[in-house]
């Protein structure tokens, strides 16, 4: 009797297990390649804000890997250009002054710590990192021919595999051109989200793991003081503020110099540009949206004595003498440059 | 018998593991408390505050605009309940209008009190979450540490003179504003969210008891104890209950 009951009990329990396993929908091992992206978040340096991940394009190992390939591969362009043509690794993913076909000059924005930003491009025209790179397919940059791109992708087993692993798309070349651009842009955005600045001399000093020179120390005191007052827009650890300001480059603003006003249509945004990070600054010249300053010394000279008043000049720029001057000494200026250089990553 | 018993035991164990593994999280029972939403309006001389508009008149005769109004509220006292919650608010953005106080004891109350800024136990780097907004509010270590309690900025103009800019910033423990208690009768109901409407009368920052004259009192305050003391006192009555 006992044995018979135990048999039935065992059978019942095993049925429960089999049924339960089916309910839990465990994946059955298969020899076929499975789309199974590995979602992850990179480890962040001490004091960093949370990374802004994307709901529609969450960071995965596979997406980041595809982005890394695309970033430096001319496959996306019809003219041999890559992202690294302008955003050069040796220049901290910034580059020399860019002049467009109309002669408009632009300082190439640094591609570092972008995963913490909410607004992109100098005038804030791009609110979505996931889609920023779609603009690169235009004639001004990659000049991408859609048929040529599809043929290149079709012929590439590497990219067929990478696109599948990243987005589950088996035949990427069969997508529409717009869809391909979107996925490429997504992958590039993931790669950029994962690109986080390595520690600098000043980071190590802040973490009590390193020392700084007396020049850097004096520069630090000025940077974080009302005298030079750099910190209100460039607060550590990001050294930028996700906001746009008119920092007094000129009294009148025409054309691209209208900045954020061209995006919002508001006169109160005239002459405002997004605050850039100061990390790796000495590698990312020329400076300001139009690259008008070549050296850090010129930049500091401008903030010391070159501010121009206008209706939208940031109130912070008035926190000084009536003539809008800081009255820094030569020593002050040299110390500030030393401090700014201490924000460079010690390794790339 | 023995092998059959072993199989049976193994089956029981597997079934239990399966059941536990598939079990959904047990919902936490609702606490016997209620919530309070504070909705904050921003006015200047009883007019709705319009950002970046040089149209608001101060008691000292200046026209001013407001281009930044960021601050913290903390140290809420509701009846006998003291909270350690803190709130970052941006008065020029829609999300700067509302905050939620949770886990309050149900009952009838006659007043609400809070501090503008961060109470001392919170006013240290790393004591509040390191969001981008909070990092932007850091008061540099080199100037005393902690966080800005208030960033109030804009432009000012008097008569035909060229407009200037002002940056009224407040920080460090000595200048925490313990706002006067706001008398108001309200109730907190169990498992419900009640609402109170407050107004920040922005002109008060520049009015009482110290009518602010930018040309005499200065156009910035950070690190200037005398100026921050005046701002602290002016901030004591900036809120009212609607």
Closest CA relative to residue B58, chosen from B182, B170, B178, B217? B217
Chain A residues touching B167 at Cβ < 8 A: 232, 315-316, 318-319
What CA–CA distance (Å, rounded) separates B96 from B41?
9
Distance from CA of A189 to the nearest CA of B (A): 20
Residue B145: inside a domain:
yes
Q: Are residues A170 and A244 in the same domain?
A: no
Chain A residues touching B165 at Cβ < 8 A: 313-319
What CA–CA distance (Å, rounded) separates A245 from A313?
8
State the Cα angle at B34 between B33 and B36, rounded to 5°: 145
Whether residue A179 is predicted with pLDDT greater than 60 in this model: the reply is yes
What CA–CA distance (Å, rounded) separates A173 from A182?
13
Q: Which residue of chain A is at minimal alpha-carbon distance from B130?
A: A49
Q: Are residues A208 and A336 in the same domain?
A: yes
**Cβ separation B4–A7 shorter than 8 A:** yes
How many separate domains does chain B show?
A: 1
Secondary structure of residue B90 in the 3-state scheme:
strand
pLDDT score, position B162: 84
ipTM above 0.90, yes or no: no
pLDDT in tens, A206-255: 999 999 999 999 999 999 999 999 999 999 999 999 999 999 999 999 99
Residue A290: inside a domain:
yes
End-of-domain residue from the set A175, A193, A211: A193
Q: Are residues A175 and A211 in the same domain?
A: no
**Cβ separation B18–A242 shorter than 8 A:** no
Chain B residues touching A49 at Cβ < 8 A: 130-132, 134-135
Closest CA relative to residue A344, chosen from A116, A48, A92, A95? A92
Residue A143: inside a domain:
yes
Whether residue A156 is predicted with pLDDT greater than 60 in this model: the reply is yes
Residue B87: inside a domain:
yes
pLDDT in tens, A256-299: 999 999 999 999 999 999 999 999 999 999 999 999 999 999 99
What CA–CA distance (Å, rounded) separates A303 from A229?
10
| pTM higher than the cut 0.80 | yes
Secondary structure of residue A33 in the 3-state scheme:
coil
- Going by C-beta distance under 8 Å and a sequence separation of 6 or more, which residues neighbour residue A314? A245, A246, A247, A248, B67, B165
How many separate domains does chain A show?
A: 2
Residue B14: inside a domain:
no
Chain B residues touching A228 at Cβ < 8 A: none
Q: Please, are residues A165 and A309 in contact by the beta-carbon 8 Å criterion?
A: no
Q: Are residues A210 and A332 in the same domain?
A: yes
pLDDT score, position A23: 53
- Going by C-beta distance under 8 Å and a sequence separation of 6 or more, which residues neighbour residue B115? B73, B74, B75, B176, B177, B178, B179
pLDDT score, position A323: 81
Residue B51: inside a domain:
yes
Domain that holds residue A84: 61-193
pLDDT score, position B7: 56
Q: Are residues A186 and A142 in the same domain?
A: yes
Residue A329: inside a domain:
yes
Mean pLDDT by 10 residues, chain B (242 residues): 51 50 46 91 97 97 97 93 91 89 92 97 94 95 97 94 93 96 94 96 98 95 97 97 94
Residue B97: inside a domain:
yes
**Would you give the DSSP letter of residue A197?**
P
Q: At A259, which CATH number?
A: 1.10.760.10
Q: Are residues A74 and A188 in the same domain?
A: yes
Residue A335: inside a domain:
yes
Q: Are residues A91 and A168 in the same domain?
A: yes
Q: Are residues A119 and A76 in the same domain?
A: yes
Residue A8: inside a domain:
no
Q: Are residues A189 and A66 in the same domain?
A: yes
Closest CA relative to residue B216, chosen from B154, B175, B139, B156? B156
Residue B19: inside a domain:
no
pLDDT score, position A303: 97
Domain that holds residue B98: 30-241
**Cβ separation B153–A48 shorter than 8 A:** no
Residue B91: inside a domain:
yes
Contact residues of A toward B, CB < 8 A: 2-3, 6-7, 9-10, 13-14, 16-17, 20-21, 23-24, 47-50, 116, 118, 220-221, 224-226, 231-232, 235-238, 241-242, 266, 268, 309, 311, 313-319
Beta-bridged to residue A200, according to DSSP, are A345
pLDDT above 70 coverage of chain A, percent? 90
pLDDT in tens, A312-343: 999 999 976 678 999 999 999 999 999 999 99
Of the residues B167, B169, B227, the best mutation for testing chain A's interface (the one with the most A CB atoms within 10 Å of its CB) is B167
Residue B6: inside a domain:
no
Chain B residues touching A307 at Cβ < 8 A: none
Q: Are residues A69 and A186 in the same domain?
A: yes
């Amino acid at each position: 009797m006992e044995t018979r009951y135990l048999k039935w009990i065992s059978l019942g329990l095993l049925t429960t297990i089999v049924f339960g396993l089916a309910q839990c929908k465990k994946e059955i091992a298969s020899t076929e390649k499975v789309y199974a992206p590995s979602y992850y978040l990179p480890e962040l340096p001490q004091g960093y804000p949370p990374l802004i991940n994307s709901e529609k394009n969450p960071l995965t190992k596979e997406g980041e890997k595809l982005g890394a390939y695309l970033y430096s591969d001319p496959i996306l362009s019809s003219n041999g250009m890559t992202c690294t043509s302008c955003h050069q690794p040796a220049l901290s993913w910034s580059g020399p002054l860019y002049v467009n076909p109309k002669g408009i000059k632009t300082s190439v924005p640094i591609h570092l710590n972008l995963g913490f930003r909410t607004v992109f491009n100098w005038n804030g025209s791009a609110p979505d990192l996931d889609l920023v790179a779609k603009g690169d397919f235009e004639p001004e940059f990659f000049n991408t021919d859609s048929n040529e791109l599809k043929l290149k992708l079709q012929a590439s087993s590497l990219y067929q595999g990478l696109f599948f692993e990243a987005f589950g798309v088996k035949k990427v070349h069969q997508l529409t051109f717009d869809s391909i651009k979107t996925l490429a842009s997504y992958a590039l955005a993931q790669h950029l989200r994962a690109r986080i600045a390595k520690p600098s001399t000043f980071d190590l000093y802040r973490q009590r793991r390193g020392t700084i020179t007396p020049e850097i120390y004096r520069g630090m005191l000025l940077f974080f003081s009302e005298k030079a007052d750099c910190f209100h827009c460039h607060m550590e650890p990001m050294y930028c503020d996700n906001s746009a300001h008119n920092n007094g480059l000129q009294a009148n603003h025409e054309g691209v110099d209208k900045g954020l006003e061209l995006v919002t249509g508001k006169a109160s945004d005239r002459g405002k540009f997004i605050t850039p990070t100061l990390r790796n600054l000495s590698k990312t010249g020329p400076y300001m949206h139009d690259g008008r300053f070549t050296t850090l010394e010129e930049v500091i000279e401008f903030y010391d004595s070159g501010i121009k008043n206008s209706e939208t000049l940031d109130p912070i720029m008035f926190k000084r003498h009536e003539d809008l001057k800081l009255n820094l000494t030569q020593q002050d200026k040299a110390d500030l440059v030393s401090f700014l250089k201490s924000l460079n990553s010690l390794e790339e | 018998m023995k092998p059959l018993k072993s199989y049976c035991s193994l089956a029981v164990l597997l079934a239990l593991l399966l059941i536990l593994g598939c079990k959904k999280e047990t919902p936490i029972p609702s606490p016997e408390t209620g919530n309070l939403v504070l909705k904050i309006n921003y006015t200047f001389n009883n007019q709705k505050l319009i950002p970046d508009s040089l149209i608001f008149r101060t008691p000292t005769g200046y026209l001013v605009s407001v281009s930044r109004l960021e601050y913290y509220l903390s140290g809420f006292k509701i009846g006998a309940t003291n909270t350690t919650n803190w709130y970052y608010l941006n008065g020029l953005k829609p999300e700067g209008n509302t905050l939620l106080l949770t886990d309050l004891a149900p009952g009838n109350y006659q007043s609400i009190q809070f501090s503008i800024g961060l109470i001392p136990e919170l006013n240290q780097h790393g004591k509040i979450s390191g969001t981008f907004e909070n990092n932007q509010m850091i008061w540099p270590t080199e100037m005393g540490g902690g966080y800005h309690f208030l960033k109030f900025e804009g432009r000012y103009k008097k008569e035909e003179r060229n407009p200037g800019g002002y940056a009224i910033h407040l920080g460090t423990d000595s200048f925490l504003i313990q706002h006067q208690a706001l008398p108001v009768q309200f109730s907190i109901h169990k498992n419900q969210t009640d609402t109170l409407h407050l107004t920040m009368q922005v002109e008060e920052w520049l009015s009482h008891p110290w009518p602010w004259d930018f040309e005499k009192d200065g156009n910035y305050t950070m690190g200037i104890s005398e100026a921050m003391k005046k701002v602290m006192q002016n901030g004591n009555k900036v809120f009212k209950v609607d």
